[in-house]
Amino acid sequence: MVHVIVVLFILVTQVSAYRPCPKCGKIKVPYPLSTDENCGDPRYRIYCNKGALEFMSAPGFYYKILSINPKANKLIIKPPLIQENTCYSSDLDQGGLMLDENLPFNISTRNTVMLFNCSDNILLSPLNCSSSSFCREFEEVGEGCGCKGTLCCHFLKDSSMTSHRIRARLGGCTAYTCVVDKQPDEPLESWNFGIELQWLPPF
């Protein structure tokens, strides 16, 4: 009898582990993403805070989740705010966006990253820091105005780069933003601001 109870408990635990989590606000939480220990897969942990779905970085900084595409195993998080009247990203103290390399998330290759208030050392890199860089357009509007006139650059995050980090630091570049799937000559008002993350399917 005890043996049967143990087997049933294991089966119930397994079934609950594969159960999708309830909606958070208006966003569905598809399996394997997990907002609770009783649903989803705990390795794919995200957070539902007061009706807002959030992704937590390795240092513990929360980024709002803007959308989830379960068919593509991807989600988009909101870039950190660039603090008003400064050129500092709100996650500067954490060194920018850093993902836990032991978890099944990474930064996709469809992200165009713009860096602001950079040191001259960045000119030794292959990034586009010219007057035609996309970052110059961003400096002309709202949030980017605090970075106007600083050294800025952009790059497409490709597979040869680390897929777990977008760095921000004093002595380097102190602010950044990101656009998903930016098309050539696309006007700024059509830019899809966000950082696309992808996850490996459970196995």
What pLDDT digit, counting tens, does each position of 110-120 carry?
999 999 999 99
Other Cβ atoms within 10 Å of 136 Cβ, number: 15
Contact predicate 11/3, CB 8 Å: no
Q: In the prediction, which pLDDT does 12 show? A: 40
For every one of its 203 residues, what pLDDT tens digit does the chain have, with 9 covering 90 and above? 544 343 334 444 444 457 889 999 999 999 999 999 999 999 999 999 999 999 999 999 999 999 999 999 999 999 999 988 899 999 999 999 999 999 999 999 999 999 999 999 999 989 999 999 999 999 988 889 999 999 999 999 987 667 999 999 999 999 999 999 999 889 999 999 999 999 999 87
Q: What is the pLDDT of residue 8?
A: 38
Note whether 132 and 152 are within 8 A (CB). no
